[in-house]
Amino acid sequence: MRPVRLLVLLASLALLGACTSSDVSYADGSEPETGIGGGDAISVGDGETGGGGSDLGGGGSDGLTPGGNFQDPCTGDGDCLSGYCVNVRSGYVCTQLCADDSGCPEGWSCRTLVNSGGDIVELCTPDVSALCASCTTNEECGVIGDLCYNLDGTSYCGQQCEYQRDCPEGYLCQEVSDVAGGVTAQQCVPDTGRCSCRPEQDGESRPCVQSNAWGACEGIQVCEGFSGWSACTANVPEEEICDGADNDCDGVVDEDMAPRPCTSTPNAYGVCEGSETCQGISGWVCDAPLASIEICDGIDNDCNGTIDDGLCYDGNPCTADVCDAGTGECAYPPRAGECDDGDACTTGDRCIESSCRGEPMDCDDGNPCTNDTCNPVMGCQWANADGAPCETGNLCTNDTCRGGSCTTGGAISCPNGQCQSSRCDPATGCVTDNLSGVPCSDGDDCTVGDTCSAGSCIEGRSYCEGRGCSNCSGDWLTLGGWCEEIFGSPVCLCFCI
């Protein structure tokens, strides 16, 4: 005798009359899973026809074509010859009574159920169960007694059971409460504690996303049976860098990587400038050439800013040293502009007719107590002129330089004449006053009675006037004598008679 599984009747057929079909979806938004996603769940009536059971649609009042044969559409048990209209999730169809699986077509199995009257009936039911299908009400789970319960934050269909042997492999027979909280019963639940990745789904995959402030990257997760879902293969979004990868997962590789300045690796010849661009997996690539020894080729090989420099040097700062890359010969055309003639005693040096010329440097420091000179190498030089005369502003003193400064000396001597009187004014120096009526000497010993007049000495009368002749012992001519200075003394000489 074949075993009969007794099912506990947990809902009335009136409740079944409210059942409607519903598509399966997972709370995580993934596609339906193998074995349950597209599967059909069934609900059964009480085996009565014509109103004894739950009428899902008023006994064909919705206009269905009369038939009632196995797998014909139905809206209630009264539409079916068997008296049972079942929910196969794609719609409602009539089922048929059976004695064993041979009485059901392929894809259907003979299942023992209990109707609302407590009678045991055997009906053909779809092989695919709603077990672990997403749901919101018990009715969506199909068979009487299968509950819609909460698991891991989402509601799924269970399957009524009495013993562990009533559950398929990978499921445990445990007591759960339905989502409405009104019914508690033994149900087959996944032993992994989740419906979204069960052992029979091992190897299946689903999309996943890693997101942050930089963007969102897509990947997949693989169901690893009892271990659950694998880690998401999506990259963690990052700031876009030049590496040939879409770091921020916006669908564009290495965007906003504008060229930027760069320099070559320094060497003994110099450093060259260039521009680096993003070259994908190669990263930033700089096009600056390596500096090299300068040659006559019209190129700035050492990158010092001057082409073919140092190859044709004439030592003249006022000529351009040009190397003709075509002929290899040197030319020295004049150039204008500033230059340095190498003489520290010139200033404002400029190139004029291939020569560097400057104006003499003015080294006068305005100090009378320094000697101002210029050294061609060192430039202006200032040495103390100690002892040199200078002027402090007092014209009545003898001022001299000492330590680079003018210092006050002793009073000056203002000369006095026999017909002048001298004094000193600090602002103007020596001042002479002319005298008059003062005796003086005109320097002639043969005059007497000389007198100053307006600063000048005026000679007096002749020395021999009224004097006898010193050379005549007798008479002399009445013309008188004349005066001669003999041995420093005046002597009157006459013509003797």
pLDDT tens digits, residue range 231-272? 999 999 999 999 999 999 999 999 999 999 999 999 999 999
Residue 142: predicted pLDDT: 64
Q: Which of 350, 344, 339 is nearest to 315 (CA)?
A: 339
Largest CA distance in the chain: 219
Residue type at 197?
C
Per-residue pLDDT tens over the stretch 27-40: 343 333 333 333 33
DSSP per position, 122-152 = EEEEESS--TT-B-SSGGGG-STT--EEEET
Residue type at 454?
A
Per-residue pLDDT tens over the stretch 383-429: 999 999 999 999 999 999 999 999 998 999 888 888 998 999 999 99
Instruction: Give the mean model confidence (pLDDT) for residues 163-187.
Output: 90
Residue 480: predicted pLDDT: 53
Distance, in Å, from the CA atom of 144 to the CA atom of 125, rounded to the nearest integer, reads 12
* Choice between 264 and 308, residue whose per-residue pLDDT is larger: 264
Q: Is 125 exposed, middle or buried (0-12, 13-18, 19+ CB in 10 A)?
A: buried
Residue 12: predicted pLDDT: 29
With 60 as the cut, is the pLDDT of residue 381 above it? Answer: yes
Residue 51: predicted pLDDT: 32
* Choice between 86 and 247, residue whose per-residue pLDDT is larger: 247
Mark out the alpha helices in 193-328 (DSSP H runs). none
Asked if residue 336 lies in contact with residue 345, where contact means CB atoms within 8 angstroms, the answer is: no
With 80 as the cut, is the pLDDT of residue 279 above it? Answer: yes
pTM over 0.75, yes/no: no
With 90 as the cut, is the pLDDT of residue 148 above it? Answer: yes
Instruction: Give the mean model confidence (pLDDT) for residues 347-369.
Output: 94
Distance, in Å, from the CA atom of 94 to the CA atom of 98, rounded to the nearest integer, reads 13
The mean of the pLDDT values for the chain is 81
Q: Which two tokens stand for residue 257?
A: 């990587």
Distance, in Å, from the CA atom of 84 to the CA atom of 252, rounded to the nearest integer, reads 59
Q: Which of 245, 255, 248, 257 is nearest to 285 (CA)?
A: 257
105-113 long-range contacts, CB within 8 A, separation 24+: 111/5, 112/4, 112/5, 112/6, 112/7, 113/7, 113/44, 113/143, 113/144
Distance, in Å, from the CA atom of 321 to the CA atom of 324, rounded to the nearest integer, reads 10
The three-class DSSP label of residue 101 is helix
Q: Which two tokens stand for residue 401?
A: 């330089």
Bridge partners, 113 (sequence order): 121
